[in-house]
Each structure stands twice: as structure tokens, then as C-alpha cells.
Structure 1
Amino acid sequence: MHSNPSLKKVLKPVHLWALAVGLVISGEYFGWNLGWDVAGTGGFLIATLLVTIFYITFIFSFTELTAAIPQAGGPFAYAYKAFGPLGGLIAGYATLVEFLLAPPAVAFALGSYVHFLHPALPVLPVAIGCYVVFTLINFLGIRESAMFSLIVTLLAVAELLLFMGIVAPAFRWENFKQDPMPFGWSGVFAALPFAIWFYLAIEGVAMVAEEVKDPQRTIPRGYIYGIVTLVLLALGVMFFTGGVTNWHNLARIDYPLPEAISIVLGKQNSWTKIFAGIGLFGLVASFHGIIISYSRQLYAMARSGYLPEVLARVNTRFQTPHIALIAGGGIGIVALCIGNTGEVITLSALGAVVMYIISMMSLLVLRRKQPNMERPFKVPLYPWFPLTALILAVVCLIAIIWYNPWLSTIFFGLGGLLVILFMAFRKPVHSS
């Protein structure tokens, strides 16, 4: 439909940094600590270092694709260009699983934080309310959404720095190294999905590529500043939290940071209550950013004929994909009602890792098939960076499947069904 308005180009490097960090920063607040439960502090530290190496090599590689092919479909557009319609379908499915199932985990944590502050408020209704509120905020336009993301991300980063400053004096090395690898090396592999949670969704910046001013220069800056910020925050938060008490006390809860501060200062201390209150900013930043990303992915796939055309409609006043926003929110609310934090994190990580694999394969194939394609940013140390990212992504995939056979069966079973339906009812599609 030629009358359908296009997305608006308004985003600058600072907005992309805020979106990159904001998409991920809730991973520093909760979820990662579940890795201690399966690996201990030492085993999870090893898993986190492996995943950090992966994300550094992946982001530099992924930035080459995003700058060369700045389309709202992100990984879907890259795989389509490299492997054709079936490759686009696989990448699109994996990306949608990642981005539609990460928000329910964040919403669970938002509900838990609010319940921690006000026990009379139940977790699930608060989580559902968050979907309604932030879907409405995203209706208002990308400029307004990006400015909101910038503000809450700056507050979230400042809060994590404040957290480290408060708990650092209470850090005890003997706490951190107590029972460091209770499950040996098998625990390291079992913990990989929770280490991925530290960085999962940073690639969502690719989904707003069509709304970026001067994408070839802006996107690399946003990504690189973002990954540096996140590596420092992730390692700092994990290290300091693990040294304030017996880590077993923090390994199974949805609000490890407020609990850590309450252990250091006492539950009735005003800093504890203030921190728990502003702790919502990190969760809000991620929740808001991922809603932006999944709505653009649904929009791009619908525009290309993979999903119902109605999802590709853009609101004429605000120039936002309003139907995609509503549909993604509905799926998230259903996931909230039937899943738990560990399950949705694992499924989201599965989708992410499959998408990472096909994205790195797309980079290698496009370098060979289209050597003269304009590449404003080229990954350093090619082909070693993308190959390292590809190998580590495959290791993560094998580990997640091995330790989560039932969830993996659901993920690949649904993906296989979509491929069969696609082959049976295939219509001509286009990538943009």
C-alpha cells in the first residue's frame, strides 16, 4: 500500500547508545543470578566471561551488517539477502521468539519489584499493567520513545554505579569464592542462558535502523559505546553482589540487588527503600526498548509478506506501527500468564542464539557473494571475529538444548511447523 506512511528518521548516536544499553540493562538487575543456582559464583563467572567474549566479537560483526543493510527487519533482512526467503523466515522466527519472550521476564521482575515495595500489590496484575502503559507510550512516536528511553537509561546506569558504591565496602572475597563450582564444568554450560541474559537484546538496535539519521555512521557508534558500557556494568554488578553475603541467599529471587542492599544496610534503611524504588528504572528501560524492537520486527516481516499485512500498518499521526505494538503486547501477556521467569529467559535465549548463528553465517556468505556491497563499517580482524562469535554461539546453542530438552523441543517444533507451512503455502515475498 503506497499510502501507508513510512517510519520517521530522527535517531542520533546518543539515542542508539541509550537504546542499546536500555534494551539490556534489566539483565543486570535480575535473571542473571539464576546462573548461580546452576553453576555457583565461579562457574557462572566463567560462563559470563565466555559470553562476554562472544558478545564483543558478535556486536562488531553484527554492526557491519546493520550499517550495510539499515532495515527495520534487522537479522531477518540480512538472512533474506544472504539465504533467500527461507533464511529470512528462520531468522525472523528466532528474532521474534527472542524479543517477544524477553519482555514477559522483565514484566515479571517489574511486578516483583513493585510487590517488594508494596506487598499489597500482586505481581501478575502489575506486570500486565506494565504492558498496557508502555505499549501506549510507544504509540506516541519514535522521537518521544527514544527520549524516554534515554532518560530512564541514564537513571538506570547511575543507579547501578550507586549500587556498586554502596555494597563495595561490604564485599568479602570469602563470600564470593565459597562453594564456587558446586556442579563442576557441567554447571558452566547450564549457566550459559543466564549469562546471555546479561547482554541479550542489544542487537535490537538493528530494528530501528530505518529511523536513524545517517545510519552508516550513527549505528556503529551506538553499538560500540553500548557494548563497552554493558560489559563494565555486568561484571561489576555480578562481582560485588556475590561478595556481600552467602550467594545461595540471592540465587533464586527476582530482586537480587535490593536484597543485597538490604543485607548490607538493613531492610528499614532509607537507602534500601530508595534503591528498590528507583530500581524500576532499569527494568523500565529494557521493557520499553524491547517493545520498540519487537514491534519493528513484526512490522518488517508483515511488510515482506511473512505475517498478516495488517501488522505492517503505520499510524498516520504518530508514524508508529500501532497494530504490531498491540499484537506483540497480547502475546507477551499470554506468556506472562502461562510461563515463569526461568522458562521465558531460556526460550528467549534460544531464539537469540539461533538468530546469532544465522546472522554470522549471513555475514560470511555476503562477504563472499557480494564483495562489492557498500560496507561503511567493516568488522576488525575478519574472519576471526565472526568465526569466534559463530563457534561460541553454536556452543551456547548445544548447551541450552542439552539442559533444556523440553523447551528446545517446543522451540524447534514450532519453527519446523512454520517452515513446512511456508513451503506449502509460499507466496512471493520481498525483503524490504
Structure 2
Amino acid sequence: MTDTPLDETRRPRRYMSPHRLGVSLLFLMNGFYMGSWAPKIPIFAEKLGLSEGELGLMILVFGVGSILAMPLTGIFNARYGSTKVGKAAALMFLPMLILITLSNTVWLAAIVIFLFGGLMASMDVSMNANTVAVEKVEHRAIMSSCHAFWSLGGLLGAAMGGFLIEMTGPLGHAIAATLVAGLFLAIGFPRLVEDTPSGEERQQKIRLPMTPLPWLIGVVALFSMIPEGAIMDWSALYLRNERGVDIALAGFGFAAFQLSMTTMRFAGDHVRDRLGGVKTMRICAVLSVTGLLLAGLAPTTPLIILGFAIAGLGISNMVPIAFSAAGNLPGMAPGIGLSVTTTLGYSGILVAPSLIGFLAEHTGFSPIFMGLSLLHVIVFLLAPLMRYADRDRVG
């Protein structure tokens, strides 16, 4: 296997097939729910009388639920297929915003938040595994655009959330968001590709992989997502406190990052189909290293914002390529490889930003962003592992 471009004669026509539409709508629904949750957080904290520290613990409960659910979902996917598991997780995930809104005690809210995080993660692992199944059926990359639909859903949910809460109240917003999400599922479910394992595959002993390959790809996902979480959580504070940028402009760094990342994800599948996973990952790593260094070193605000935008272009396709590679590992059920990769990857975006905040108190954010670029140097060196992302679409 090499990182050569795919044969031009084997590339199918570009269109939104039913299978691709089905799994894309799962990503859209999941992102929409996460975006809808964001504007509810202050109301949630106020209703329960949570301090900032207590709210932080509640968000940690969400993260713990997510991390615990991912390997379990990998086992269920290997047994029953990502379609059945993904549908079940999505249906259980659907009432979560209403249940969060109705929770009136701290302990009840903690249980619901734990389930919210776990079901979000379970749906995430399943829909990524289903995306791998669609890539195998259609012999083309779709993972990046699916992640773009997740980002788009998050933007839609966040944009609509504040308006609906003001117009209809927290419960009205939760009901409206649930109806919209239910519509996405109703359209998407019948179009999902079926990937039920064969009898022989179900009889295989399922356990955590003992070979280093899935763990190394998980490290790629982890190192790809840590800078993403850092920019998401700390870029505005960096611009405001260390660079003296006006509060009205401080959010432009993350906005530029998010816009470039979402846009590039819609183009990323075409790039990977032409160049292959290895070369695409190397280009992404070079772009992200350049962007992070520029964000940390640039003397002016426009250049810092440009740095975050360039980093977004690079980071955009790192995780989708790693997930495709993990789902295509030889001799391993897609759900198992993906559960390892998603668990390691999302732990980076859920846990690392708090450690980065602690370090920044002593060093400032400028050296933090420069230091994070070293993680993507390692991603560049591990890029040959991404040849597995193309395994079922070439030769």
C-alpha cells in the first residue's frame, strides 16, 4: 500500500447518495444537539444554583460519561453493527434536552448529564463506524464532509438556541430542538447502510486490541484534537488578556478557526480521494504547525487571527482521516478500532484544555500555542499510518 493518488478511472460521480445522506443527517443531528446545549448552560447553572466550580464538575460528569461509553459502544458495534447501535443511541439521545431542562435537583441533573454525554459519545462512535461502512460500499471518502455536517449542526443549534430560549422559554426551546432533531432522524434512518456483522464475525472474541496500530492511530487523533480544544476554549482569552484586543473582536480568532475548518471539511473528501490519506495528512500537519506558530508569534491581531484560520485548514481533516484509518484496520472490527481512536481523541478535547489553562497561568498562551504545534510535528511523522484510510478504496 502506498500513498499514491487513487486511479482517476475508479472515482465515482459526486452526488449525495442515500447512504451518504443518511449518515450525514446523524452527524447533523448530533452536532445540532451539542450546539443547542451550549446556550442552555447558563440557565441550567442558574436554575440549580451552581457555582462556576460546581458547573465545571457537572461538565466533567458529561466528559466521564462520554469516555466510558466509547469503548462499550465499540463492543456493541462489533456484535450488532453500527446501524442498529447508532439508531438505538440516537433514539435514546433524542429526549435528553427535555430531560435536562426538567431536571430540578443537582443529583438528578448529574445523572441526566452523565447519560447525555454517554449517549452523545455512543452515537458518535456508531455514526463514524457507519461512515466507514459507506466508504467501503461507495469506494470514496466521505468522512470529512460528515464531520463538516456535525460542525454545521453545531452552528445551527447555537444560533437558534438563544433566539428560541428568549422567544419560547427553556422548555419551549428544548421541545423545538427535539422536533427538529427528530425530523433529521426520521429522514436519515431509512437511508443508513446496513452493516450487520456476519455470524462468524459475531462469534469472534471481542477485546481491546493488543497490537500497537490502533493505539498509534488513537495518538494521532489525540494530538490532532488537543490544539482544537485549546483554540476553542482559550483563543478569545489569549487575544483579550495577552494581546489587548477589544472584547468585541476577541472571539474572531475562534470564529476564523471554525469557519476555515468547517469549509475545508466539505472539501476534504475530494482532496483525500485525489492525494490519498498519507499525503493529505502531511499537508494538514504542515498547515496546522504553520498556523499555530503564527498565532503564537505574530505581532499584530490580524496575523494572529490569520494564524488561527490556517490552523483550522490543517486541523480540519486530521481527525476524519484518522477515524477512517481506524475503521479500516485489517483483521479488526471497525467498531473496535474506532472505539480506541475516539476514546483517545475525545479525551484530548475534553480533558486537555483544563490542563492547558493551568499551564497558561504560569507561561501565558503564546508559548502554549507554539508548543502545541509540536504535537502536529508528531502527527506528520505518523502520517504513513493513514494509508489504512484508503485500504478499501484502492487496489
Of structures 1 and 2, the one scoring higher in RCO (CA 8 A, sep 6+) is: 1
Query: Could you say which TM-score interval applies, normalised by the shorter chain?
Result: 0.3 to 0.5
Task: Say which structure is richer in helix.
Answer: 2
After TM superposition, the score normalised by the length of structure 2 is 0.33
